[in-house]
Homo-oligomer: A and B are copies of this chain.
Amino acid sequence: MNTKAIVLFGHGARDVRWREPFDRLASLWKAQHPSTPVELAFLELMEPNLEQAIASQVAAGATEVVVVPVFFGQGGHLRNDFPVLLSACREKFPGVTLSATPAVGDDLAVLQAIIDFGARAL
């Protein structure tokens, strides 16, 4: 059986309160998509890192993991660091199908929600 999991991958920050929206994302996901396990992962300064998050999903039985970069822009982190990390995870977990979506900032509906938020603030 193919068991899919999702990893929401963010930048990370020194201030622990920075992760609040990420924790909310994980809660929303769990409430709305309970059959697909979700895990947060961070590029730096916060844990778990990508490999740890994927390892945890694999240990729980995932055979396919989709990584969603919760970044606005495709800058150096996503163009350079992220492919290296993902490639290392593919080597580490050869039996698992790992894929990644574009950054959430590439999604028109996400951008539209930001526009609508700004419009409500006026």
Give residues in A with beta carbon < 8 Å to B. 4, 6, 8, 10, 13-15, 17-22, 24-25, 28-29, 32-33, 36, 66, 68, 70, 72-77, 79, 101, 103-119, 121-122
This chain: copies in complex: 2
Minimum CB–CB distance for A94 against chain B, Å: 22
Q: Decide: B115 and A109 in contact? CB cutoff 8 A.
A: no
Q: Knowing A18-B73, A122-B66, say if A32 contacts B115 (CB, 8 Å).
A: yes
- In terms of DSSP, what is the predominant structure of the interface of chain A? helix
Contacting A114 at CB < 8 Å: which of B25, B116, B122?
Answer: B25
Q: Decide: A119 and B75 in contact? CB cutoff 8 A.
A: no
Q: Which residues of B contact A24 (CB under 8 A)?
A: 108, 111
